[in-house]
Every structure is written in C-alpha cells, then in structure tokens.
Amino acid sequence: MEPTFSKIVETVYHLPLDEKQELMNLLSRNILENRRNEIFDHYQVAKNEEKTGKLIFSSDINQLRHLL
C-alpha cells in the first residue's frame, strides 16, 4: 500500500531534527533540479521555434497583444 501525503507528513514530524534538515536539503536540491530542467525544456522549445521560423519578435505593442 502506498503511503498517503498525510502519513508522510506525520512521519516527517516525528523525525529527529538532523533527519528533517537532511530531508529539507534533499527536497530543495530536487526542486532546483526540476526547475532547471523546466527552464531548459522551455529553452529547447524556443530554440526549435526560432529554427523553424515560428518565433516572432516585435517591439510593436499591438502586434504583441495580437500574438497573445
């Protein structure tokens, strides 16, 4: 049986302080890594759009509003 979120939280609350801090560090690093991957994925999409001519740049506010 897979633990529920509330059971995990309850377990974490009962951990010693040093284990809580280690868990916090692990989660922080994991979140940062996920965010880096997300940014890189968006970069790859923009790079491909630029190669195929789908990426449009403009300083005209009306054109930018239309693109949204």
Residues in the chain: 68
Residue 1's pLDDT is what?
A: 65
- What are the CA-CA distances from residue 25 to residues 40, 55, 62 (Å)? 23, 38, 46
Residue 67's pLDDT is what?
A: 74
In this structure, are residues 12 and 20 in contact, taking their beta carbons and an 8 Å threshold? Answer: yes
Residue 17's pLDDT is what?
A: 98
pLDDT digits (tens, 9 = 90+) for 48-62: 998 998 877 778 888
Residue 37's pLDDT is what?
A: 98
pLDDT digits (tens, 9 = 90+) for 15-48: 999 999 999 999 999 999 999 999 999 999 999 9
Q: For the full predicted model, state whether its pTM sits above 0.75.
A: no
